[in-house]
Amino acid sequence: MSELHAQTVAQVRDTMLPPVPPPRRETGAIRWLRQNLFSGPLNIILTVLAIWLLWVALRDVVPWAWRGVWRASSLNECRAIRDQLYPEGTSAACWAVLTDRWRQLVFGFYPASQIWRPPLALVVFLLAVSPILFARLPRRLLWLTPAAPFLIFWLLWGGTIWGPVAAALGFALGVAAFLALSRARYPILALLAGILLPVLYWSFVAGPLARALAGVAPLALPAVASKDFGGFTLSIIIGLSGISLSLPLGVLLALGRRSDMLIISKASVFYIEVIRGVPLIVWLFVAQLILNYFLPRGTNFDLMLRVIIMVTLFAAAYIAEVIRGGLAALPRGQYEAGDALGLTYWQAMQLIVLPQALKISIPGIVNSFIGLFKDTTLVSIIAMFDPIRMASSIRATTAWGGIYWELYVFIGLTFWVFCFSMSRYSIWLERRLERGHR
Amino acid sequence: MTDAALAAPPPVTEEVAVQITKMNKWYGSFHVLRDIDLTVYRGERIVICGPSGSGKSTLIRCINRLEEHQQGQIVVDGTELTSNLRNVDKVRSEVGMVFQHFNLFPHLTVLENCTLAPIWVRKVPKREAEETAMHFLKKVRIPEQAAKYPGQLSGGQQQRVAIARALCMRPKIMLFDEPTSALDPEMIKEVLDTMIELAREGMTMLCVTHEMGFAQAVANRVIFMDQGQIVEQNTPREFFNNPQSERTKLFLSQILGH
């Protein structure tokens, strides 16, 4: 290397360059279009094709929906209004069926004077789950959560408030007995007392107690029978109960399936495989018809309750498998670290394993929940008036015979809004739980 | 290094910390540990080395029953390890363990990692557990990382957090299972320094490691294992300068040869 070359290699910068904005064609909308839509011949063809397809799909639907008639009391009236407004042969939606029949679609046959109750119950539910869904909310809200199921039940079905209160006392009794005895270090006795005391109480004390209290303070709402529930109220009740009950059950089943205890693990596997291997419709028929044969003669177990239990049991099997995937994805070292620190099995599960496994399983869990919520429409087959069956019955009336698109578009969109919100929430939750790379 | 680190380790006591008698273990039909007899006295720093598959990790994992032995007896701090879960949990809360892959809890902060077991196992109030945790995080020289998540730390820092997490339980015995094997070369020293400091404070330690420098600096006994058996044990000076068995000589020539 020559000395001259060495001089050209050594370098010291004495003025720093100021930052300069990028060239115009490399920023903003133009750059985005170039990169994403027109980056090459194939891409240009695909873009044009996609625009054409969108045009074909929407050119009739959008005007049809836009021209829609909102005020009419029958399909014929709808058509008359349409023919007045538009030249002959123009198509227009008849949204009037929704304004005319919205109460049935949303509340089923719930008494008209009482329809404030289901939305209030929904508000109570949302308040009760909000501290669980959003960790930033004040923890004080959690006090409502254990009481919420009883309050919701009372709001929806009505009757005296003392029935749910007496039932809730049973749970409180069980928990108190369990805590007192496990603090005194009798774990097995505590578990037995925690289960037996409430059962005895419910069988012999709860009924008379509720009646006595109702005699003293008759605080009651008009009772609503299960057969009067319908429309989206029915779907949401079944869906949300199924969702909130199947998650804890699914967690227990997933832990059971991975348990070292042979009987528990085999029982979990058996349950999951049997429930999952049979279509939900069959289980719903079981709930409707066969279950009554097994119950003592004379007990008339509410059909809606039976359906909620079936849907919960069905969804729990799927949730269990999703969570099992999350449990399997955790490195063995996490379990070992918990063991090595002297944590008990349940402490390790609660503090270390489940928080991580559930986080991994969020997409799968929400996927199952969305499936469960949409599957609630299957109850139309066992004579329950979910939105689909309600739509059929509206179409069977003389006023609205022959209408179909408008009802199903509305039902479909409403389901989509619910499912899409769940999906957005899950994405938000995944981002919030992000903890750097592992 | 602090004064404690520079001082010589306190003398080994007569008190027995771990007593293993005629212990055997099988994986299926594979005989991993054969007739292990080992007595560890309080204050001992034991380094266990040997070729891979010799059973050294399995041996120390039997001491806190991450692995079950099938024959013989293990008594830790006066408690025998059997299928009695209460005894197992008792032993585990007295024995700290540091793993090759750290095994920190990624969903908890460094501080929460350190306070979890004291709060839930020892039932220490949260405030007190946090003070203890900060004390030990200072000791391993990363108090400033307390609010971070493990995923944001380097390997060496994570392993030091793991050591602090184990110390927060105030264990009587510490087990190290290849604590530096998963680390980049420049991070090994920071972890070894922490371990040396711990040894010089008189902690009873069993370390599975290939860091022979560490063995020479603080161990009072080196154990060489092969094929599930203890082949040779001696003071570090005798072990390295005057190995007795052919198998030990071969092993030492292989790991010290270059």
Residues of chain B with pLDDT under 70: 1-9, 257-258
Q: State the burial class of residue B257 (Cβ atoms within 10 Å of its Cβ: 0-12, 13-18, 19+).
A: exposed
Which tokens hold the place of A431?
């981002």
- Give A389's contacts (C-beta < 8 A, 6+ positions apart): A230, A380
- CA-nearest residue to A434 within chain B is B107
- Are B66 and A339 inside 8 Å of each other by CB? yes
Contact residues, chain B, for A355 at CB < 8 Å = 107
Q: Is A344 on the interface with B (CB under 8 A)?
A: yes
8 Å CB contact between A373 and A418:
yes
> How far away is chain B from the Cα of A347, in angstroms, using its nearest Cα?
8
B/e letters for B72-108, b = 16+ CB within 10 Å, e = fewer, are: bebbbbeeebeeeeeebbbbbbbbbbbbbbbbbbbbb
Which tokens hold the place of A382?
């066992």
> Which domains does chain A carry?
104-159+226-435 (1.10.3720.10), 160-221 (no CATH)
Using CA atoms, how far apart are residues B100 and B209, in angstroms rounded to an integer?
10
Using CA atoms, how far apart are residues B1 and A234, in angstroms rounded to an integer?
70
Which of B35, B90, B88 lies closest to B66 in space, CA to CA? B88
pTM over 0.80: yes
Residue A204: count other Cβ atoms within 10 Å of its Cβ. Answer: 10
| Helices A231-257, A96-107: inter-axial angle, 10-degree rounding | 50
How high is the ipTM of this complex? 0.90
Instruction: Map residue A398 onto helix, strand or coil.
Output: coil
Residue A11: count other Cβ atoms within 10 Å of its Cβ. Answer: 6
> How far away is chain B from the Cα of A187, in angstroms, using its nearest Cα?
13
- Output helix, strand, coil percentages for chain A, rounded to the nearest 5: 75, 0, 25
Place of tokens 């509340």: A107
Phi, psi of A10 (to 5 degrees): -65, 135
Torsion (CA) A286, A292, A294, A297 in degrees, nearest 10: -170
Residue B14: count other Cβ atoms within 10 Å of its Cβ. Answer: 7
8 Å CB contact between B103 and A333:
yes
Chain A interface, best mutation among B116, B152, B153, B178, by max A CB count within 10 A = B116
Angle ∠(B110,B114,B120) on CA atoms, nearest 5:
130
- CA-nearest residue to A355 within chain B is B107
- Are A342 and B169 inside 8 Å of each other by CB? yes
Torsion (CA) B112, B118, B124, B130 in degrees, nearest 10: -30
Q: How many pairs of residues across A and B have Cβ atoms under 8 Å apart?
A: 72
Using CA atoms, how far apart are residues A239 and A248, in angstroms rounded to an integer?
15
- Are A343 and B97 inside 8 Å of each other by CB? no
> How far away is chain B from the Cα of A341, in angstroms, using its nearest Cα?
6
Can you give the pLDDT at residue A438?
A: 43
- Are A351 and B97 inside 8 Å of each other by CB? no
- CA-nearest residue to B97 within chain A is A340
Which of A246, A267, A264 lies closest to A365 in space, CA to CA? A246
- Give A437's contacts (C-beta < 8 A, 6+ positions apart): B151
CA A213 to chain centre: 36
pLDDT per residue, tens digit, chain A (438 aa), is: 455 565 567 778 888 888 888 776 666 777 788 888 888 889 899 999 999 999 998 998 898 998 888 888 889 998 899 888 888 888 888 999 999 999 999 999 999 999 999 999 999 999 998 888 887 788 787 888 888 999 999 999 988 888 888 888 888 988 888 888 877 777 788 888 888 888 888 888 888 888 888 888 888 888 898 889 999 999 999 999 999 999 999 999 999 999 888 999 999 999 999 999 999 999 998 888 877 777 666 666 788 888 998 999 999 999 999 999 999 999 999 999 999 999 989 899 999 999 999 999 999 999 999 999 999 999 988 888 999 999 999 999 988 988 888 999 999 999 999 999 999 999 999 888 887 654
Q: State the burial class of residue B229 (Cβ atoms within 10 Å of its Cβ: 0-12, 13-18, 19+).
A: middle
Q: Which residues pair with B208 in a beta bridge?
A: B48, B177
> How far away is chain B from the Cα of A342, in angstroms, using its nearest Cα?
5
**C-alpha distance from residue A201 to each of A174, A190, A321 (Å):** 10, 16, 35
Using CA atoms, how far apart are residues B183 and B176, in angstroms rounded to an integer?
14
- Are A343 and B66 inside 8 Å of each other by CB? no
- Are B120 and A343 inside 8 Å of each other by CB? yes
Homologous superfamily of B16-256 in CATH?
P-loop containing nucleotide triphosphate hydrolases (3.40.50.300)
Q: What's the pLDDT tens digit per position in B116-133?
A: 999 999 999 999 999 999
- Output helix, strand, coil percentages for chain B, rounded to the nearest 5: 40, 25, 35
- Are B93 and A437 inside 8 Å of each other by CB? no
Residue A97: count other Cβ atoms within 10 Å of its Cβ. Answer: 28
Contact residues, chain B, for A340 at CB < 8 Å = 64, 66, 92, 95-97, 99, 166
User: What are the start-end ranges of the H helices in B34-146?
Assistant: 56-63, 85-94, 110-120, 126-139
Domain layout of chain B by residue ranges: 16-256
Contact residues, chain A, for B169 at CB < 8 Å = 341-342
- Are B151 and A347 inside 8 Å of each other by CB? no
- Are B101 and A355 inside 8 Å of each other by CB? no
Contact residues, chain A, for B107 at CB < 8 Å = 355-356, 359, 433, 435
Using CA atoms, how far apart are residues A320 and A255, in angstroms rounded to an integer?
8
